A and B are shown apart, each in its own frame.
Chain A
Amino acid sequence: QLQLQESGPGLVKPAETLSLTCTVSGGSISTSSYYWGWIRQPPGKGLEWIGSIYYSGSTYYNPSLKSRVTISVDTSENQFSLKLTSVTAADTAVYYCARLGYMTTAKYYFDSWGQGTLVTVSS
């Protein structure tokens, strides 16, 4: 069964860089049918898609965050990572990694999620 697990610091200082890694187990990140992505949820609020990556390294980002976001993939470790630069308190959120599936009838959908990790931006 596919599992995704986020890891990284739970506290980041303002203006610094948030770095998280998602480790995929129970399946290969190099599967041709899927993208892999990051979604965040500020405390008590809704969900925001950050960006996604294909195992080849092809990426696409939410334009609202694009200038600060980098997503990368390490197929040898079956992991993908998120870097968000110049963070502020507004970036405090639970960060989820997820698998992004594709079907002709549905286009893209998030069908498997990690448990999420809370990242707080504070000095």
Chain B
Amino acid sequence: DIQMTQSPTSLSASVGDRVTITCRASQSISSYLNWYQQKPGKAPKFLIYAASSLQSGVPSRFSGSGSGTDFTLTISSLQPEDFATYYCQQSYSAPWTFGQGTKVEIK
């Protein structure tokens, strides 16, 4: 199985801050990397596919980059509704695996 490791596990930030979350794969996954946002008590929401393509309706302050084994999710200007846990997921090969999550908290 491909292991996905996110860092940091959690971070504290203020509204308006630029936030970057890193996801590393245990082997090269090309650009087959998706990102999700999950708020407490809710299902994950699909944000980004193919490492850098925004799902329809996702605000442009979200962006993704990377290929191979190293990927980043960036929120350019953190908004109150962005406080949540973010997960990466590789779609290179089954079993599809997720990172352990990064919790973005209010400073």
Contacts and interface: CB of A to CB of B under 8 A. Distances in A.
Contacts of B53: 105-106
A95 B59 CA distance: 28
B95 A110 contact: no
B43 A115 contact: yes
Nearest to A60: B94
Contact of B44 (A62, A107, A113): A113
Given A103-B50, A105-B53, A110 B31 contact: no
A116 B43 contact: yes
A46 B101 contact: yes
How many A residues touch the partner, as a band?
Answer: 20 to 34
B89 A110 contact: yes
A47 B44 contact: yes
- Looking at A47, A49, A96, A98, the one whose CB has the most chain B CB atoms below 10 A away is A47
A64 B97 CA distance: 12
B98 A48 contact: yes
Given A46-B100, A107-B91, 12 more contacts: A46-B87, A49-B96, A60-B94, A64-B1, A96-B43, A105-B31, A106-B91, A108-B91, A108-B96, A111-B55, A113-B43, A113-B44
Interface of A: 46-49, 60, 62-64, 96, 98, 103, 105-116
Interface of B: 1, 31-32, 34, 36, 42-46, 49-50, 53, 55, 87, 89, 91-92, 94-101
